[in-house]
Amino acid sequence: MRKYLTLARMQARSVLAYRLNFVLSLFALMFQLFAMLAIWGVMLGSGRNLNGFDWGHMRAYLLVGFVCGALVSQGADFRMAGRIQDGMVAVDLTKPVDYQRARFAEVVGGAWTELATALLVCAGVLLLSGPVPWPGVPDLALFALSLVAVLPLKFLIVYMSGLVCFYTQNYLGVHWARLIIVSLFAGALVPLSFFPHWLQYLAAVLPFASMSATPALIFVGQLHGGKALALIAVQFVWVVALWLLARLIWRHAITRVTIHGG
Amino acid sequence: MSIIEAHGLTKVFRRPVKREGLGGSVAHLFTRRYSDHVAVDGIDLIVEEGEAVAYVGPNGAGKSTTIKLLTGILVPTAGEIHVGGVVPHRERNANARQIGVLFGQRTQLWWDLPVRDSLGLLRDLYDISDADYRARLAQFDDILELGELMPIVARKLSLGQRMRADLAAALLHRPRVVYLDEPTIGLDISVKDRVRAFLRELCADGTTLMLTTHDLGDIEDVCQRIVIIDKGRKIFDGTIAEVKDGFARQRQLHVDFASPVDPASLAALLPEAEIEAGIDVPAQGPHRDFTLRFDRFRLTAGEVMTALLSVGEVADFRLDEPAIEDVVRRVYAGDLRLAAEASR
């Protein structure tokens, strides 16, 4: 356990070496947030209410989505993909650590900058656009629990897409495909209740809603008590299932390792 | 059981075959064709504890692939491997604890952290006690002058500095088996010497060493045993002395006479030697410079000198000893088939 803590601590320091890169990549997410705020601002202006969302709730929903989007966005997958493609993975494979746990430790270590910056942006938005409705203490506790599950879930999706590099030598396409699928089915841009029914069913059986919609809906008060707990349970079931699935993929991927150039 | 045991070790890579041009690339999308490339072809290798083995061969011979199989990075297509009783690619963690690996072209330091932090991280990864860690660092500082590198961020190290730090990183946990893939690549002479001295010391302490290199100085300075492979197959396995006695027998003597000498008279006296005109002289007729090549088991240098002195006054001479380098160079060039020669 100590070695994974050390890996996390190291990554927490390493991310600071690329401050500028970090801030720039967050800009992209921020523009997306501002664009969505502008669109919903027009649609929900003058006290309108759509599918149970008024302007205040929608801002809260989008901000939670933004925080979830910022988590594990700092190129953990690109680091992994790069190391697989240029053969540095050879070095990782000679260390006495479990590859998946080690990568997770690094993501946890790097998460603090992502979280801190995302919260800063949220504070800025709240300052400019006024306060949002705030949930009561029990819902806030549920929200926190749900947010905790987002980190391993996002890690696993990112990790598995990184593993694809053992099969294909180009990562960029995988990355973009993942970003689009995740932000659509996670309901980070448009709440899932706005989707046509068949798409809602599809989203319900995919793990992506657990990565953003669940905590966001708890925060805005559309999920309470037992229903919220059930969906949080679903989140953790996904964590376990995807963790095992990632292990299976890894076991196969590792037989495919070819290291070029010495 | 020996520390490294490999039997019939084979690794086949599948490579996509694409026909030429855009048409070929498009065709590849629909009908995939592959060709098999056998990188390592049925290699048997037994290494005893404390041995230092040089593993050499021309580019693309399968050296690095063998190392990656032995370290558990690659899964073999066929054959068996045991390192310290462990199957490396199955028990990756157990294997990782007992081995140290240095890939000369890849660093294992954390790129964005000072060397000190990288080593500290490795201490935690390998569960090294603080006392042991300090003792080890002191030792490295003596030989590799590590102290001055400790506060520097890895990406700012020069190649020589990086290699020293990487060596320390590979050996921090006192591994039983150390694989070094091109450990002195790009190093200057003084650092090279220091690294080699360090490797000798390591070996004397009972560490098993396996070294792939193109630098034949590494081999002669560090190893007792040499394994030569070509096209994935082992073509020689024996001591350095055996290679030299068996194949590096040719000495070269460069001689400079005070006055021109007829090559024919020299040839008459030394029928066993190959006589060649020196540089910048006509190939025919009398001249002063000669190069003589002779088998050191058939002619002694004394015999050659006696003959030379009998035909004229020798102004100057120089004797080149055969080096392992010559053998390997001839093997690489395909001039020498070791397996065939050895069976003669």
CA dist B169 and B173 (Å) reads 8
User: At residue B93, does pLDDT exceed 80?
Assistant: yes
Return the axis-axis angle of helices B159-171 and B115-125, rounded to nearest 10°. 20
Distance between terminal CA atoms of chain B?
Answer: 32
Alpha-carbon span A96 to B125, nearest angstrom: 7
* DSSP class of B147: G
What is residue B31's predicted lDDT score, i.e. its pLDDT? 73
Rounded CA gap, B257 and B275, in Å?
Answer: 14
Q: Which residue of chain A has the CA closest to B98?
A: A96
Distances in Å between the Cα of B52 and the Cα atoms of A108, A172, B44, B46, B209 are 42, 44, 17, 12, 5
Q: Is the pLDDT of residue B63 over 70?
A: yes
Q: What is the pLDDT of residue B5?
A: 93
CB contact under 8 Å between A262 and B64, yes or no, is: yes
State residue A141's pLDDT score: 93
**Strand residue runs (E) in chain B:** 4-16, 34-47, 52-56, 78-83, 99-103, 177-181, 208-212, 225-230, 233-239, 250-261, 274-277, 287-295, 314-320
Q: Is B117's CB within 8 Å of A13's CB? A: yes
Over the range A91-127, which residues count as b (16 or more CB within 10 Å of their CB) and which as e?
bbbbbbbbbbebbbbbbbbbbebbeebbeebbeebee
CA-based radius of gyration for chain B: 25
From chain A residues 195-254, the ones with a CB under 8 A of any chain B CB are: 254
pLDDT digits (tens, 9 = 90+) for A131-145: 888 888 899 999 999
> Cβ contact (<8 Å) for A14 and B93?
no
Of B96, B106, B127, the CB nearest to A90: B106
Dihedral of the CA atoms A191, A192, A195, A197 (nearest 10)?
Answer: -150
Q: Determine how β-strand B78-83 pairs with β-strand B4-16.
A: antiparallel
Q: CB distance B105–A88 less than 8 Å?
A: no
**B139-148, B162-171, B239-248: the lowest-pLDDT one:** B239-248
Using the Cα atoms of residue B332, residue B334, residue B335 and residue B338 in order, give the sign of their dihedral. positive
Instruction: Work out the pLDDT band at B99, boundaries 50, 70, 90.
Output: very high
B89-93, B96-100, B194-198: segment of lowest average pLDDT: B194-198
| Residues facing residue B81 across a β-bridge | B6
What does pLDDT average to over chain B? 85
Least confident of B70-79, B302-311, B318-327: B318-327
pLDDT(A15) > 50? yes
User: Confidence class of residue B343 from pLDDT cuts 50, 70 and 90?
Assistant: very low
Sheet holding B233-239, edge to edge: B99-103, B177-181, B208-212, B52-56, B225-230, B233-239
Q: Which helix (H) or strand (E) holds B68?
A: helix B63-70
d(CA B37, CA B232): 10
**Phi, psi (deg, nearest 5) at residue B280:** 60, 30
**Dihedral (CA of B140, B144, B145, B147) sign:** negative
CB B229 within 8 A of CB B54: no
The CA-to-CA distance between both ends of chain A, in Å, stands at 33
Pair of tokens at residue A87 = 């053969």
State residue B252's pLDDT score: 85
Please write the tens of the pLDDT for every residue from A235-254. 999 999 999 999 999 999 88
Note whether A12 contacts B: Cβ–Cβ < 8 A: no
Interface test with B, best of A85, A92, A95, A100 (most B CBs within 10 A): A95
* pLDDT tier for residue B79 given thresholds of 50, 70 and 90: very high
CA distance A13 to A131: 34
CB contact under 8 A, B106 and A93: no
Task: Show residues of chain A in contact with B125, CB under 8 Å.
Answer: 3, 6-7, 95-97
Say yes or no: A97 contacts chain B, CB-CB below 8 A: yes
Tell me: pLDDT of B342 over 70.
no
Q: How confident is the model at residue B240 (pLDDT cuts 50, 70, 90)?
A: confident
pLDDT of A157 > 80? The answer is yes
pLDDT of residue B280: 63
* Average pLDDT score over chain A: 88
Residue A84 near chain B (CB below 8 Å): no
Least confident range from A211-215, A231-235, B58-62: namely: B58-62
Query: Confidence band (pLDDT; 50, 70, 90) for A260?
Result: low
pLDDT for res A44? 86
- A44-79 pLDDT, tens digit per residue, is 887 788 888 888 889 999 999 999 988 887 778 888
For chain B, percent of residues with pLDDT exceeding 70 = 93
Reported pTM: 0.82
A61 to chain B, closest Cα gap in Å: 36
The answer to whether B157 touches B165, Cβ cutoff 8 Å, is yes
Percent pLDDT > 90 in chain A is 35
Cβ atoms of B62 and B231 closer than 8 Å: yes
pLDDT in tens, B102-111: 988 888 898 8
Q: Are strands B99-103 and B250-261 parallel, antiparallel or unpaired?
A: unpaired
Nearest alpha-carbon partner for B100 in B178, B9, B2 = B178
Chain center to CA of A23: 17
CA dist A184 and A180 (Å) reads 6
Residue B297: per-residue pLDDT:
81
Contact B121 A87 (CB under 8 A): no
Confidence class for position B101, pLDDT limits 50, 70, 90: very high
Three-state DSSP at B130 gives helix
Q: In this predicted structure, what is the pLDDT of residue B344?
A: 41
User: Which residues of chain B neighbour A90 with C-beta distances below 8 Å?
Assistant: 68, 73, 103, 106
Contact list in A for residue B153 (CB cut-off 8 A) is: 17
pLDDT digit string, tens, across residues B263-289: 888 888 888 888 887 766 666 677 888
Q: Cβ B73–A3 below 8 Å, yes or no?
A: no
Q: Which of B35, B55, B68 to probe by mutation at the A interface, max A CB count within 10 Å?
A: B68
Average the pLDDT over B96-119 and give the result. 90
Report which of A130, A104, A118 is spatially closest to residue A65, judged by C-alpha positions: A118
Cα–chain-centroid distance for residue A197?
A: 25
What is the C-alpha separation between B205 and A182, in angstroms, rounded? 55
What average pLDDT score do residues A179-189 get? Answer: 86
Per-residue pLDDT of B173-198, as tens digits, reads 999 999 998 888 777 888 888 888 88
CA separation for the pair B220, B192 (Å, rounded) = 13
Q: Is B71 on the interface with A (CB under 8 A)?
A: yes
